[in-house]
Amino acid sequence: MTEMVYGAVPAQAGEPVLPRWWRTVDKWSLMAVFLLYGMGLLLGLAASVPLATRNGLPPFHYVDRQAVFGAVSMVVMLLTSTLSPDRVRRLGVVAFLFAFIALSLLPIFGSDFGKGATRWFSFGFITVQPSEFLKPFFVILCGWLMAASQEINGPPGKSISFAVAIVVVAFLAAEPDFGQSALILFAWGVMYFVAGAPITLLATVGAMVAGGGMMAYQYSDHFAKRINGYLAADVDPRTQIGYATNAIQEGGFFGVGVGNGQVKWSLPDAHTDFIIAVAAEEYGMILVFVIIALYAVIVIRSLARLMRERDPFIRLAGTGLACIFGVQAIVNMGVACRLLPAKGMTLPFVSYGGSSIIAAGITMGMLLAFTRTRPQGQIGDVLGRGR
C-alpha cells in the first residue's frame, strides 16, 4: 500500500525475489484484476445457474469451473509478473509458434459447437480456443521485431511484423473470427504507430481493412448477418442483442435487485459474451461504471508507467498488451448495448471461459512484468542529454 500513497520504490540490488516483486509491481492494477475476477464470480452465480439447469447440470457447475480456471489464471499471472522482460520476450516468441501451429490445425481438428465458426479444440472435459492465447504472444513477437528494427543494422522488423499480422489475420478470418482479427490488426497498428510509423502507411492499412470488411460482407453470410443486424433500424427482441439491450434498459441506475433479473433465462451466452447485461439488469449502471473504472485503472496506469520506460521493446509490447486488454473490454460492452456489431468476444476476467480467463492472466502477467519499477533513469533524461 505504500506505493499507492508515496509512489513506487525502485528495486534494491541483492533483494530477494518476492520482496523485490512486491516493491516494484503496480499494486493498483493488481488490485483491479482481483476485483474484476471477484465480480466475475459474483455475476456467474446469477448468470450461469439457468444454463446449468437447462443442461441438466448442478446449479453451480459453471461457477465452480470458473473458480478453478480463475485460480489457475491468477497463479499464472503472478508467476509471469515475476519474470524479467528478457524472459517474457523469450517465452512469448516460443509460445507464439505453438499457438500459431494450434491455430493452423483448427480446420482439421477443430470444432464449431454449432456456432458456425471453427474456433475450438474439444478434449471432452475441456475446450481450448487458440486465438485467445495467440493475441498476447503475437504482441510480444511484434514488439520484439519492431524494437530490433530500430537498432543500427537491425533487421526489417516492421515489415516482418506486418507480414506476420497478415498471415495470422488470414487464418483467423478463415474460421471465421473477425473480432479477433480486428484486435490483432489494432494491436499491430498501435505498436507500429508508437514505433514511429508514417501516417500514410497507417492510412493505407486502414483502407486495406475497410476493403477486407467489404469483401467479407459480400462473401461471408456469417459476417453479413451480424452487420445487417447491427444496422437494422429496429432490434428483434428475440435475438441476443434484443434481450441484452432490454435488460440494460430495465436495470436502470440501481438495478432490479439481486436474483430478480430475467435476461439470464433467455440468453444462452449470458455468462460469457453478455455478462455485462446481467450486471446492468440486476445491479444497475452503478456496477457497470465500477467495472469500466477498473479497466480504465489498469490501462491508464500501465500506459503511464510505460511512457517512462527507456527500453523500446518494453514500451512497444507493453503498449500493445494494455491496448488489446482495454479494447477487448470496450468491444464486449459495446456489443451488449448495441454500440458495435456482435463480435463474440468475452469480457476479460469477468466472462466465463477457461481459455479466456487464463489468456487474460497471461496478458496481465506480462503487462505487470513490463510495468514493474526498475532502477533506471527517466526517458526524459536520455532525451535531454541528446540535445
Nearest alpha-carbon partner for 365 in 164, 168, 91? 91
Q: Mean pLDDT across the chain, nearest whole number?
A: 86
* CA 290 from centre of chain: 18
Q: Report if residue 109 sits inside a domain.
A: yes
Q: Report if residue 382 sits inside a domain.
A: no
Percent share of the chain, pLDDT over 90? 49
- Under the banding of pLDDT at 50, 70 and 90, the label for residue 230 is low
Give the three cell numbers for residue 300: 491508464
Is the dihedral angle over the CA atoms 307, 185, 209, 128 positive or is it negative?
A: negative
Give the span between the Cα atoms of 109 and 120, in whole angstroms: 9
pLDDT, tens digit (0-9, with 9 covering 90-100), for 235-251:
666 677 888 888 888 88
Structurally, the chain folds into a number of domains equal to 1
What domain range includes position 24?
2-377
Q: Report if residue 204 sits inside a domain.
A: yes
Q: Report if residue 152 sits inside a domain.
A: yes
Q: What is the DSSP string of 214-239?
A: HHHHHH-HHHHHHHHHHH-SS--TTS
pLDDT at 130 over 70: yes
Residues linked to residue 122 through DSSP beta bridges, in sequence order: 127
* CA 93 from centre of chain: 18
Q: Report if residue 146 sits inside a domain.
A: yes
Rounded CA Rg of the chain: 21
Give the span between the Cα atoms of 350 and 345, in whole angstroms: 12
Note the pLDDT of residue 234.
66
Predicted structure pTM score: 0.88
All residues at 6 or more sequence positions from 19 whose CB lies less than 8 Å from its CB, including other chains: none
Q: Report if residue 387 sits inside a domain.
A: no
| Residues 305/26, Cβ–Cβ less than 8 Å | yes
